[in-house]
Structure 1
């Protein structure tokens, strides 16, 4: 363990002496250093204050620092589990893999985050057809080499075709995952705050090749996606849809070697800021997280009616052991036992029927009608199904309470659990009753705010223990002669070890049919270790510095750049300006704020589409002042063309191309790897700027003449030949005309 540094390492006399020694160097005119001098008195005062601060700061312990962070609303972050997308292949029939299906990557365990309908089809062909070309990108898709979904220009009417070896099943939710190329200089912002969803500037429609109304001729029939996390192929995500009628085979060029079953994505409205590039399209793909679930709880609402039934799809619920709980009228949880048939139960028996569907991998609960089995009371989340693994059956009991204050129980057994997944219960036997009832207990960071009646406990991940209160700060669990403290929900996971490389999630933690395999086409990401105290202190500094309210122009710019899901390259906030105003800034508009945005693009003139602008406006609306009227507009572009006559040294006479490249690097709206942000919004294009750039080029003797031309709206050219552009505008480079003259030809 590292030694704790001593912060109180300088005495008062030492500080005064060091300050007096620095006077001749810092202030030579200060010559009177006697005690009666007011400056010396101030030095002694500051030294005394510093010495007192050091004294108290040296007594700030780690526990105190955690309390200070708590006052700021910050607590060290728990370990975060890595996630990845896994793809299943090899099944010969339809198969349902419920949520929580276990997978392995070496010694790590992953679990699926959702239920997947496994379809026994293979994606054989990927075609892209535009107005001018048709190409087969199947090999690119298999090798994860990026290709444009609708061509480099992404024009309206382009098509993306997916060809399968067999028809997709009807009325079954099909899931296709799209991984888009994401390694651009400007990263997508992932804002932690829950905001409105991203809006796409383009629109796509989906269809499949099927039979028309007479059931004979081929026709393209529409598909209405049930889930589109790709937002019209603007980002990586999952597409879910239903095929409503039978698919028909069709032959399409350039994959016309045989007939296949096709799905088509058509670009109905163009407007992408960045033409989508696809790295891989996969069928039967689901997201998996690095964790191990020992026990899980699913709650249901009770209507209070007879014959209530509930269904859920979960791996543990289907393959594990079960406990059913119902909250009684007095707010206590009681365990109900499961039976094969409710007809064997009496009217007052606490029983329910549990059935499982092997085809759909679902578990169903059914309660009685008051004649055969009791009816659960009405209320929200009054019914629970607890599912846990057989190995966890004994381990879920932490121990028995002795009724003493400050009891501590060891629970880690070599594992670090996810605190947010914990649900703990303490049981007791009420006086005059034979059955045990259970109360839920809540995990807290400490007992500082706990009253004597609060059912709180503290989980210490480092020590692997849970600790209860003392009847003053936190209630003491009731004494019991048998284990009466148990976990209903518990998970383990998190850490950087979960960030495994692609192709390592290959193990199936369940009995699958022969031939079924799984892999992760891309690496797992996002796994983090538990945050240390030092890291939490650095994070609080960043969070306190980040704006949360849009008041100043700088606030608007910072918040707009953090709009989630977008690649915002540049932002300019113009206070007191309203779009369409003239004579700005001589004439201003009170309570107006205009935000000009530039998306990242591979184009010379990045243009923000309507969806891009609307997404940023919705994000800023959550942070602006109510009295401010907000406008979000795209940048205006002014094309600048330079005509120059340059005198060169004889051996550099043919350097016109180099001069044109330097001018292009200067007159650009964005940084394309040149180390500069780009042209500033509204900055006048002075001829002096052009003179300076050309004069710095090797071989240039002097610039003989320069004149500038501009194309666009809102600019004006003054008598000196400089181009003045509006505050919401940027410049981009035209085709420059450079004439070079050898120095010897003059």
Structure 2
């Protein structure tokens, strides 16, 4: 816990006003300026005293902040700057007009907007992050054919188009959960040109599987290869070269390919129409590290590309350099997202003549390693401030008029960008043949910038671990740095929790057997009643920790074990007319209070802590209309039996003292 420094001056404005009145009585006690101690100076005296006290209070507040400001300046000297806001990302789908005969390109940076968030008048702007070729082909059929001889299943309902996708997106299918082959049927409407050698982008909306304690988590292994083929005749299938950003259909992303010249229509028994077929199948055995538990496929769409909540600005002139040391300029919009280009107009010799040209300067975290010839600058992303060197540490921009500019930068970010499904539907500027744009899933990843309190809490930890995991606290700190989605982390040494979730260290032999083993439990930042990390988050944290820990460490990253808290309470009400309201409010209060991250008055529940009777009695007293409690019972239950656990799962999980609680089934009986 970070200790607050003591106040240099603890007086308030009220204290200053009272002290001023006493001093006036003391120094004006004699003639000719006699001040009656029982008099407050009248209306004018009270006003002047109040104004004086107010401004003194402002000065004292500034003085009290000196310790914090000096500490922040020290942390900034060591490179600990606040993390800027993060932009949300979302797949954006484009729907063609029916009159479109040929495909066309949508350039990266194409803008779409959503309605302004609450309290703002400016719409939320999103920009595509890469180029997209909008194809004239349509996704018409989709099936899964198990490799065990069972008949194929029609899963065309998972095809997402611009109408009705919001209702179907919640129906999911396991990817390769039975080693199936996926078949995608493409069609070409009459009057449209066959897009030979043109790209086609199939976007897969994939929900990553959650941590499951009932099965052993297999460590990273060789990737299972997904083979893509296309129909080249009545029964012929040929290899299809694809560019796969979905990493073998394990995360959301597009699979792109060029339409082959011999792409032919073929009729499958499951569908009566002849279509252009593309199929995906596994080559060799399924690697359980990738497909167990299987990721869930929420849908497939054509002409879809990622967009992020950002707005690009180009050739924005920041000002004129006067040749002095330590100059600073500020971007018109803030925050400034990573990837900006800062340019300075400089005079340089060329073929015996002096010419002016815009030279690109380089961003650095500080000037401590800069020389007088280095074109370096520092950017504060939260405020948009850009600082240059003093001629000794970093070059000074040459004097000139309007000769400092940002050639390109992006601004945006924040939690407001996490918009709901279907909110991104207005194309700001695009092709005339685009009929509609839509987001089939909610945007995610947007986060506010780091607060001062967060910097004061994080930076001292960073000074301790210096980016290397050695102690248990280091592993926990670095796990939170690995991803903003990690709300809490707990390091458990000497145990492999992936193989033995319920193991505890009880003997010296257990310690010797676990030498070199380190497990980290991560809890995601989510409002779910039972927060469990996804496989993607587990892999991301594991990768980051392995890069920053000892090579001899055997690391496992897992999710927490949960025990549900079930409450039965018998109440006597002040009046029976309160019955429905009391039951409703108590149910909501129990669910909120028992949330592992936001419960217990916003403090959350520590690992291994279960609620006591006094906790629940205090909560019940906060609901109006209850006379007294005649009976209270708190019991624990487990949703599943963890892998390798023998005996009663509740007792085994509770014995680990590293479980988290969540809300269970509650019974409120009134009389």
Give TM-score scaled by structure 1 length: 0.52
Matched, 1:291 2:310: yes
Taking structure 1 as reference, are residues 478 and 8 closer, same or farther at Cα in structure 2, changes over 3 Å only? same
Matched, 1:259 2:274: yes
Partner of 2:564: none
Instruction: Give the distance between the partners of 1:535 and 1:568, measured in 2 at CA.
Output: 13
Partner of 1:487: 406
Q: CA RMSD in A?
A: 6.0
Matched, 1:269 2:289: no
Contact 2:183 2:278 in 1 (8 A): yes
Taking structure 1 as reference, are residues 62 and 571 closer, same or farther at Cα in structure 2, changes over 3 Å only? closer
**Partner deviation per Cα, 1:261-296 (whole Å, 9 max, x = no partner):** 22223355263222222222111111112223233x
Contact 1:594 1:631 in 2 (8 A): yes
**Structure 1: runs of 5 or more not aligned:** 11-53, 188-197, 296-391, 601-605, 636-670, 681-697, 699-709, 717-722, 731-746
**Partner deviation per Cα, 1:92-135 (whole Å, 9 max, x = no partner):** 32222232233333534332211222211121223234344643
**Structure 2: runs of 5 or more not aligned:** 12-59, 116-122, 160-164, 214-218, 524-531, 560-595, 609-630, 632-640, 659-671
Contact 1:82 1:496 in 2 (8 A): yes
Higher mean C-alpha deviation, range 92-101 or range 446-455: 446-455
Taking structure 1 as reference, are residues 416 and 209 closer, same or farther at Cα in structure 2, changes over 3 Å only? closer
Matched, 1:575 2:475: no
Instruction: Give the distance between the partners of 1:620 and 1:425, measured in 2 at CA.
Output: 40
Offset at residue 560 of structure 1 (A): 8.3
Offset at residue 525 of structure 1 (A): 2.7
Match of 2:550 among 625, 633, 651: 625
Contact 1:129 1:150 in 2 (8 A): no
Instruction: Give the distance between the partners of 1:553 and 1:400, measured in 2 at CA.
Output: 51
Contact 1:186 1:569 in 2 (8 A): no
Matched, 1:93 2:125: no
Match of 2:157 among 129, 134, 139: 139
The alignment partner of 2:133 has SS state of strand
Instruction: Give the distance between the partners of 2:391 and 2:200, measured in 1 at CA.
Output: 55
The alignment partner of 1:218 has SS state of coil
Instruction: Give the distance between the partners of 1:274 and 1:569, measured in 2 at CA.
Output: 23
Match of 1:528 among 429, 447, 460: 447
The alignment partner of 1:528 has SS state of coil
Match of 1:66 among 69, 72, 80: 72
Instruction: Give the distance between the partners of 1:122 and 1:97, measured in 2 at CA.
Output: 17
Matched, 1:178 2:204: yes
Taking structure 1 as reference, are residues 202 and 486 closer, same or farther at Cα in structure 2, changes over 3 Å only? closer
Match of 2:239 among 222, 247, 262: 222
Instruction: Give the distance between the partners of 1:434 and 1:558, measured in 2 at CA.
Output: 54
Partner of 1:278: 297
The alignment partner of 1:435 has SS state of strand
Contact 2:113 2:424 in 1 (8 A): yes
Taking structure 1 as reference, are residues 210 and 569 closer, same or farther at Cα in structure 2, changes over 3 Å only? farther
Partner of 1:41: none
Instruction: Give the distance between the partners of 1:181 and 1:598, measured in 2 at CA.
Output: 21
Offset at residue 170 of structure 1 (A): 4.8
Partner of 1:436: 356
Offset at residue 6 of structure 1 (A): 4.8
Match of 2:185 among 138, 160, 163: 163
Instruction: Give the distance between the partners of 1:282 and 1:184, measured in 2 at CA.
Output: 24
Matched, 1:504 2:434: no
Offset at residue 446 of structure 1 (A): 7.2
Partner of 2:226: 205
Contact 2:177 2:294 in 1 (8 A): no
Higher mean C-alpha deviation, range 454-463 or range 492-501: 454-463
Give TM-score scaled by structure 2 length: 0.57
